Amino acid sequence: MSATDGTGSQQMLASALLMAFVGSGGVVLVGFFFPSFVGQALGGQTWLVLALVFFGSGLGYLAALPYERIRPDVSSESSLLRIRRGSVRAVLSDLVSVHDPVTLGLPILVFTLYFGFQFTFPGTTAAVVDGLTNSVLRGLGPVLLGTVLLSVGYCAVLLFSAWGDVKLGGEDVEPTYTYPTYFALVFTAGIAAGIVFWGPAEALFHYRQPPPYFDVAAGSEAAIGAALVYALFHWGISAWSAYAVVGIPIAYFVFERGAPLRVSSILTPFLGVDGLDSSWSRLVDTLAVFATIGGVATSIALVSQQFLAGVEYQWGVPPGGLGPVLFVGGIAAVYVLSAVSGLHRGIRRIAGLTVVLFGLFALLLLVVGPRAFIAERAPAALGAYVVNFVPMSLYATGSWVTEWTVWNWAWWFSWAPFAGMFLAALSRGRRLRTVAFTSVVATSAATGVWFLVFGGTSLSIQHTGRTDVLAAIAERGGSEAVAGFPLLSALPLGDLLLFLFLALIVVFMVTSADTSTLIAAILASRRGVAPSRGSIAIWGAFQAAVALAVLLVGGAESLQALAVLTGAPFAILALLSLSGLSLALYREERGQDHTSIVRQAFDRLPEIQTHHDVEPPDRKQ
């Protein structure tokens, strides 16, 4: 990454962004917390622009600030995620000289054809895509269920076995980042705004239509527990393990075998490092680019609807037809600036801010929400989740499982290429045990607390009749985007919660989009060539164009279904990568001085016992 200290232009940009943040902030905060003073003086588009300027300039200021190197011995030029600086003139030449023509051209061609068909034959296109997706998910449902359960088991092996003691890059290598920063980067890149989008909604849907596994009545007391358990299940260790089983093999082969930072490096045991220029490797990387752009762009389109719904809900003024364009353009400007600023600057800082806001919102929601309800239901749901984990993981009966569980697993695997590759790049100097713990256990704990608190709050308010959130969703045609706003408005400090909620939508989306933009640019570049800032900006703009096309042309669900389709082949590739990693660990690490965590614990026991059992000198006579 570029680690150059702030130049004059960077200082000017940072100062301009700070002025915009302070200026727009005063207007937005007054208008947000005192909407009666605003009335109809300004239209929805004006308030949307002001809100985007406020949030965007604040995040942009963080990205534009200069930085000091994390450690003096860590050079930006040695980073796997490095970025080349270049002139504007070099951007067009980069498209030819730097990018792999297949990896660059094929995703663009597929997206262009898709939107062309979606615009010309919307009904037929949706029917074909939905039919294909349903067939694949039904046919490969047992495979996906089994792969996810196996992935969880494999991560458990890395946590407790001697293999987990392997240190990526060698024993003398130290991590670049502190552990809190490492966790923040992994967590925010992999979760996106989906956790904000589904936080208040998923448990309610399971409450309205309970999972058949539990066989309880809709809207009943028992349905509350079932809803919380399945929310934990869909966002817990099973989901995050999809990232780990792709990212950990990449990390091992990159740092221990010298493979390039590519998703296709999972093929190293079968092709060798020198064989990673093959057509199979290019196919894997091309599929990864398509999955990354399709998945993140769809998420941008979906959360834009949530943000726009929030603007209309708070101020009572619709953003109009130009609203989606303004939102996507504003978000794109921020995540592109963050991506080109580098990992040490925008990406790292905004990730840290996101985790802070995430924790602050969850804590505030717990304080003002139904604490007694959550305190009673959360431990029971967590216990039921643990007890029923394996049976739920293997339960494959009925269309509900296909529409929810299988679909979720495929969606998580479709995000696994870029999230796993980013995890791998960050993990130099970490032990495999630490990587597995962070990417599965720690992240699942964070999402679990979120869904227990937010989902428990929504269930309490819905079940007691305090607010009918499901009716509000139905009034908007079944859109989940509106769920959080009537819910938060029914709580004390509702305006503050709504403000933080909108902020979380923005920062979570930026933290995933900047990472996906950087990863797509790296994957599309020729092997051994770092992407330039111009090529990163191009990929960011293309990602925004896909999201905007979804909003203007339509077909968000169909594009999401296409992205989900890529999850199936990556689930198969995950199985291949685990077999290759196991073979490599067995051959290379056998006989090495690696210790399991269980052995480490037992080795400490004699020391502890000796410390406590030594008698005073006067008793040894």
Closest CA to 235 of 412, 6, 438, 499: 412
- If one compares 568 and 357, the residue with the highest pLDDT of the two is 357
pLDDT at 555: 61
- Which is higher by pLDDT, 441 or 130? 441
> Letter for the amino acid at 529?
V
pLDDT of residue 203: 93
Please give the radius of gyration of the chain, using alpha carbons only, rounded to the nearest integer: 25
How buried is 574 (Cβ within 10 angstroms: 0-12 exposed, 13-18 middle, 19+ buried)?
Answer: buried
- 7-47: per-residue pLDDT in tens? 567 778 778 888 888 888 787 777 777 766 554 555 556 77
φ, ψ (nearest 5 deg) of residue 84: -90, 140
pLDDT reading at 2 higher than 50: no
Find residue 99's DSSP bridge partners.
525
pLDDT in tens, 536-584: 888 888 888 888 888 777 666 777 777 778 888 889 999 999 999 999 9
Q: What's the rounded mean pLDDT across residues 521-540?
A: 81
CB neighbour burial string for 39-57, b if at least 16 within 10 angstroms, e if fewer: eeeeebbebbbbbbbbbbb
Tell me the two tokens of residue 532: 């330039």
Using CA atoms, how far apart are residues 371 and 274, in angstroms rounded to an integer? 58
Under the banding of pLDDT at 50, 70 and 90, the label for residue 145 is very high
What residue type is assigned to position 31 of the chain?
A: G
Name which of 302-311, 312-321, 364-373, 380-389 the model is least confident about.
312-321
pLDDT: is 455 or 309 the higher one? 455
**How far apart are the C-alpha atoms of 81 and 426, rounded to whole Å?**
9
Give the distance, in angstroms, between the CA of residue 174 and the centroid of all CA atoms in the same chain.
26
Beta-bridge mates of residue 532: 84
Q: Is-contact 442 434, C-beta < 8 A?
A: no
**Residue 563 to residue 414: CA distance in whole angstroms:** 6
Q: What pLDDT does residue 368 have?
A: 93
pLDDT at 323 over 70: yes
The C-alpha atoms of residue 219 and residue 416 are separated, in whole angstroms, by 35
Work out the percent of the chain whose per-residue pLDDT is above 70: 86
Residue 86 has pLDDT above 50, yes or no: yes
pLDDT tens for residues 165-181?
A: 899 988 888 998 899 99
**319 pLDDT above the threshold of 80:** no
Q: Inform me whether the pLDDT recorded for 494 exceeds 60.
A: yes
Q: Work out the average pLDDT over 375-392.
A: 94
CA neighbor of 79 nearest in space, from 288, 296, 347: 347
pLDDT of residue 230: 96
Distance CA 123, CA 593 (A): 61
Residues facing 525 on adjacent strands: 99
Phi, psi torsion values for 526, nearest 5 degrees: -65, 155
Q: Most confidently modeled of 59-68, 247-256, 305-314, 562-571?
A: 247-256
Buried b (16+ CB within 10 A) or exposed e, 212-237: ebbebeeeeeebbbbbbbbbbbbbbb
Contact of 227 with 455, CB cutoff 8 Å? yes
Q: What is the structure's pLDDT at 75?
A: 42
Q: Dihedral of CA 276/280/286/287: which sign? A: negative
109-113, 124-128, 304-308, 598-602: which range is least confident on average?
598-602
User: How large a percentage of the chain has pLDDT more than 90?
Assistant: 33
Q: pLDDT at residue 375 above 90?
A: yes
Q: What is the rounded distance in angstroms from the CA atom of residue 294 to the CA atom of residue 127? A: 18
- The answer, yes or no, to whether residue 447 has pLDDT greater than 90, is yes
- Specify whether the CB–CB gap between 112 and 290 falls below 8 A: no
Q: List b or e across 241-270, with b for residues whose CB sees 16 or more CB atoms inside 10 angstroms.
A: bbbbbbbbbbbbbbbbeebbbbbbbbbbbe
Q: Are 240 and 440 in contact (CB under 8 A)?
A: yes
Angle, alpha carbons 118-564-194 (nearest 5°): 100
pLDDT digits (tens, 9 = 90+) for 590-604: 767 777 777 776 666
Could you tell me which residues come within 8 angstroms of residue 532 by beta carbon, excluding any fewer than 6 positions away? 83, 84, 85, 86, 90, 91, 94, 98
pLDDT reported for residue 119: 82
Of 331, 389, 329, 358, the residue nearest 145 (C-alpha): 389
Single-letter amino acid code for the residue at 296:
V
Question: For position 458, what pLDDT does the model report?
Answer: 93
Encode pLDDT of 188-216 as tens digits. Answer: 988 877 888 888 999 999 999 999 999 89
Residue 53 has pLDDT above 80, yes or no: yes
Residues 6+ positions from 32 with CB-CB distance below 8 Å: 314, 495, 498, 499
Across the range 211-238, mean pLDDT stands at 93
Cα gap 258→253, rounded to integer Å: 6
Strands of 80-135, DSSP E: none
Where residue 3 falls among pLDDT bands split at 50, 70, 90? very low
> What pLDDT does residue 244 have?
95
Mean pLDDT, the chain, integer: 83
Q: Please compute, for residue 216, the number of CA atoms within 13 A of its CA located in the half-sphere on the CB side.
A: 17
Domains and CATH numbers, the chain: 104-246+282-605 (1.20.1740)
Q: Which residue has the tokens 């989900």?
A: 564
Q: How many CB atoms lie within 10 A of CB 572?
A: 15
Work out the average pLDDT over 391-417: 91
Q: Is the pLDDT of residue 455 over 90?
A: yes
First-to-last alpha carbon distance for the chain, in angstroms, is 67
Distance CA 276, CA 267 (A): 7
